[in-house]
Structure 1
């Protein structure tokens, strides 16, 4: 057992990179969707989302940085652990399409649905299960997801009017 642990540790140590940012660097901030949205029987999105590049104002401690946040995020504490940040390489020719998010104090946001794109039924031996394909706000049409029609009717009846 000890040998296996040492081997795993050596693999982790080889791939480990210490993230370090300088004052003036730009970083993306990680935000997590609220757990009220159920996807495939799992609460929350499958992949984390990062928003808007923010400038680093100062290094607070070894692994903490103070960011320049916009006024919409005034209620959010402006110091973040390095694990909540992702490096952004500034490119002057790139235009950033910034969609302001209503980010909560716990760095989460609510993902809203827009409309029903498609319908289908999954046929089993003794019954059929109706599904609807939902287009989500701030996501492309390729990211629309199949949800159970019954759950969507119960939780979001305005979609079916």
Structure 2
């Protein structure tokens, strides 16, 4: 069985086989002309679908604020002055798609970041407490709300 038939359950039809039985007897200029017309129709359909797909993706695409490209996969970003101590060059694998949510923006002054870019997490409240029984041990699990975090981010 041909690989195409295994994948799609039907015979692969080449441009020569697009015509009805009996029409293939007209081998010559007419057959070539008709097959070229069908190929042109298919190319137009592909261009239409590609342009439609491009219009959908262009709506969601935004330009990035990149200072310059460094190598094939590294970029230098324009960061805020508050983040001047952060190294501005990032590998492209570290980027993730981000949908803006203004409620998640937190000012850095309130967090208390030190010069070595660390901060002290202070527990505010214990939200939940459970005890899991293993075969011979009891393990206590505590869900803690930390300073500068929302309830959904509690660990």
TM-score scaled by length of structure 1 = 0.40
Identify, as 1 or 2, the structure richer in strand.
1
Q: Which has the larger radius of gyration?
A: 2
Identify, as 1 or 2, the structure richer in helix.
2
Larger RCO (CA within 8 A; separation ≥ 6): 1
TM-score scaled by length of structure 2 = 0.41
